[in-house]
Chains A and B, each alone.
Chain A
Amino acid sequence: MSRRPRPLTAVAAVLMCSATVAACGSDSGSSSSSSGGAKTTTVGFLYVGPKNDFGYSQAAGKGAAEVAKLPGVKILEAENVPETSEAARVMEKMIRDGATIIFPTSYGHLEPALTVAKRHPDVIFEHQGGLKNSTNLGSYFGAIYEAQYLTGIAAGHATKSNKLGYVVAFPIPQTLLNINAFELGAKSVNPKVTTTVVFTSNWCDPGKQAEATNSLVAQKVDVISQHQDCTKTIVETAERKGVDSVGYHADASSLAPKGWLTGSLWNWGPIYTDIVKTIIAGQWKGSKYDGQYRVGIEDPTIQVAPFGKAVSAAVQAQIKAKEKAMRAGTFKPFTGPITDQAGKVRIPAGQSPDRTKLEATDYLVQGVTGKIPSS
């Protein structure tokens, strides 16, 4: 019965399949170009997910499309790029294909980008959200929690049960800031409101997202916001369950015609195009992009999504007025006294820490239900 062993078959199969995986991880990139100047500049964009995820990668993809419209600029794109050395391989390939500017758009693309940047000093890298830089790698990001404060106002008005829900991947400063801002915004118009947090320990697992949404709805939560990479499952599940949604990253209002309130969006086009123009003009070195460039609600990068039918004109006007005050710098959402869950004062009365300080947030504010794992 036993057959002659053929170990080579298995090895061949493994090789064939890893090649397939590698291929689809990177080379699904499309490119577009516009003719203009004599010399074409090639810009590479890496996304951690697909560009149609109603989330983080979709927002980045929309910005890249703006860059493609610049005269004399051609873009290369790669979707589903994992946050591993695979990202380095994709960047190397883009450089071989002529890219002189690279946007690694996901947080975990930073380390591979630093490695590749060292090997190619003539290529300029702009990382989205990076906390490390090198001579040819800068980073940019935005204080999207400022928009999340404004969407919290819509949620605070919309809730009937005074219970909001927040589906989050991991407890990191960025997500904690968003949750806090959301609760503070909601509480500014509805003192009784609480926000319950569910951590999914994954940036995009629709199974967990669906179950987390179901669980929150079972607890009478009637407005759900989120911080995930892909947002579609939560928005759709909330709509089916008849509760309201506050979106994140990208406009998903088409998924929830009844329950969509608003959302916090990235509008990367202006910043991407300005970075590319600065580099083409040869002025990157020493510019604001050569380092850690950060913007807030005063910049077009951070936007409040179009409002849904459920948000009244009065509430829209209230939100717009607050947004104006934030843009003018006369109102700061994190102004003390702000106390954490345990009742400890984290921001003393009258004080409002700057963005750098806020980016070290390691607590949830009073009114939020949820546990941060102690480190």
Chain B
Amino acid sequence: MFVEDVLTGAVRYGASVLYATQGELIAERSGIVNLGTEGSMLCGALAGFAVAAETGSALPGVFAGLIAGALLALVHAYVVINRGANQLAAGLAITFLGLGLTAAIGTSYVDRRIDGLGEAPIPLLSDIPLFGNFLFSHDLLTYGALLLAPLLWWFLFRTRWGLLLRATGEDPEVVHAYGHSPQKIRYLATVAGGALAGLGGAQLVLAFTLNWVENATAGRGFVALALVIFAAWKPLRAMLGAFVFGGAAALQLQLQARGIDVSSFVLEMVPYVLTLLVLAIASWRGGQQMPAGLKAVFDSGRAR
């Protein structure tokens, strides 16, 4: 069924972007812009694939992906928090570092074969018409993606730690005065963000393509960066954006498979245009949403 195909495609294709988007959202909520998201995704993808290939099991690959993404983000955290480097420049450098490292190390894994995570349909629920396939017939990492945004929303807006994180992004001096270390919180947020981006990369290779190639993420990390801004730093809206992007990307291929008479060049734009449109409408009356601490980053490139 067409609608079902599109929805399933949206979750399958959007999950990796969703992980990276939520990861970046956490970092930016703390006042750190990490343009290294693409690099963390790539490191997560390669580490996940390599470990799955070496161990013959995808599950250790999930953890490897998480750790690799976190490690690369740790470099960003150190450079911008301890050394006071320009966040935008450092982030881009991190992405190129990830791209270069994974291309060099990953060459020997291009022809390796893995089993992947495998689908684990949830009994009964997966038989529900329309919803069964796209919500309840996935693998571990894709289920995780579905749960991630609500969990993150709850964490950010309903817990004390979430409040601290947001406060750090708004006004670190207040957090400092309150007896907490903004640096420590930013460290944690940046590294957690990298870990999620790593999971996104791992989802891509372990649950979806089951293959590693150079630049396997093909810009998905940069899509995630844009989504955070257009989703006005709100987890649920970011989830909507990621799934609209994934759905439209899947849709344009599905429409071609259905033989639609539209230029592939036009179809190629659909995911970007549609995602912008949906998020623009979703933020219609939003007003100014950016964490105050980020203004300084975009003005001078440095956190306050």
State whether A20 and B100 are in contact (beta carbons under 8 Å apart), knowing that A6-B85, A206-B213, A236-B210 are contacts in the complex. Answer: yes
Contact A23 B104 (CB under 8 A): yes
- Give the interface segment out of A10-18, A182-190, A317-325: A10-18
B90's partner among A3, A13, A206, A374 (CB-CB below 8 A) is A13
A-side residues, CB < 8 A to B, are: 1-7, 9-11, 13-14, 16-18, 20-25, 28, 49-50, 52-54, 79-80, 165, 171, 196-202, 204-212, 214-216, 218-219, 221, 230, 232-233, 236-237, 255, 369-374
A22's closest neighbor in chain B, by CB?
Answer: B100
Q: In the complex, how many angstroms separate the beta carbon of B133 from the nearest chain A beta carbon? A: 11
Determine the distance from Cα of A24 to Cα of B103 in the docked complex, in whole angstroms: 7
State whether A215 and B254 are in contact (beta carbons under 8 Å apart), knowing that A49-B214, A205-B218 are contacts in the complex. Answer: yes
Determine the distance from Cα of A9 to Cα of B96 in the docked complex, in whole angstroms: 16
Contact A17 B13 (CB under 8 A): no
Q: In the complex, how many angstroms separate the beta carbon of B102 from the nearest chain A beta carbon? A: 9
**6 A-B interface contacts by CB (under 8 A):** A14-B96, A80-B107, A171-B264, A236-B113, A255-B113, A371-B263
Question: 8 Å CB contacts to A: which residues of B246-270?
Answer: 249-250, 253-254, 256-266, 268
Contact A10 B85 (CB under 8 A): yes
Beyond the given pairs A10-B89, A198-B257, 20 more chain A to chain B contacts, judged by CB atoms under 8 angstroms and listed by A's residue number, are A1-B172, A6-B85, A9-B83, A13-B90, A13-B97, A21-B97, A21-B100, A50-B214, A171-B264, A199-B256, A206-B211, A212-B256, A215-B9, A215-B254, A215-B257, A215-B258, A219-B257, A230-B110, A236-B113, A373-B266
State whether A17 and B263 are in contact (beta carbons under 8 Å apart), knowing that A198-B256, A230-B213 are contacts in the complex. Answer: no
B263: chain A residues at CB < 8 Å are: 371-374
B205: chain A residues at CB < 8 Å are: 206
State whether A233 and B85 are in contact (beta carbons under 8 Å apart), knowing that A24-B101, A207-B204, A255-B113 are contacts in the complex. Answer: no
Q: In the complex, how many angstroms separate the beta carbon of A127 from the nearest chain B beta carbon? A: 22
B257: chain A residues at CB < 8 Å are: 165, 196, 198, 212, 215-216, 218-219, 221
Contact B99 A21 (CB under 8 A): yes
Contact B111 A232 (CB under 8 A): yes
CB of B77 within 8 Å of the partner chain:
no
B85: chain A residues at CB < 8 Å are: 6-7, 9-10, 13
Contact A3 B110 (CB under 8 A): no
Q: In the complex, how many angstroms separate the beta carbon of B236 from the nearest chain A beta carbon? A: 24
B250's closest neighbor in chain A, by CB?
Answer: A211
CB of B282 within 8 Å of the partner chain:
no
A9: chain B residues at CB < 8 Å are: 79, 83-85, 90
Determine the distance from Cα of A264 to Cα of B71 in the docked complex, in whole angstroms: 43
Question: 8 Å CB contacts to A: which residues of B14-44?
Answer: 16
Determine the distance from Cα of A280 to Cα of B256 in the docked complex, in whole angstroms: 50
A211: chain B residues at CB < 8 Å are: 9, 12-13, 249-250, 253-254
Determine the distance from Cα of A93 to Cα of B136 in the docked complex, in whole angstroms: 54
A215's closest neighbor in chain B, by CB?
Answer: B257
Q: In the complex, how many angstroms separate the beta carbon of A354 from the nearest chain B beta carbon? A: 29
B209's partner among A54, A207, A370 (CB-CB below 8 A) is A207
Contact B256 A215 (CB under 8 A): yes
Q: In the complex, how many angstroms separate the beta carbon of A369 from the nearest chain B beta carbon? A: 4
B9: chain A residues at CB < 8 Å are: 211, 214-215
A21's closest neighbor in chain B, by CB?
Answer: B100
Q: In the complex, how many angstroms separate the beta carbon of A66 from the nearest chain B beta carbon? A: 20
Determine the distance from Cα of A7 to Cα of B110 in the docked complex, in whole angstroms: 38
State whether A3 and B172 are in contact (beta carbons under 8 Å apart), knowing that A198-B253, A232-B211 are contacts in the complex. Answer: no
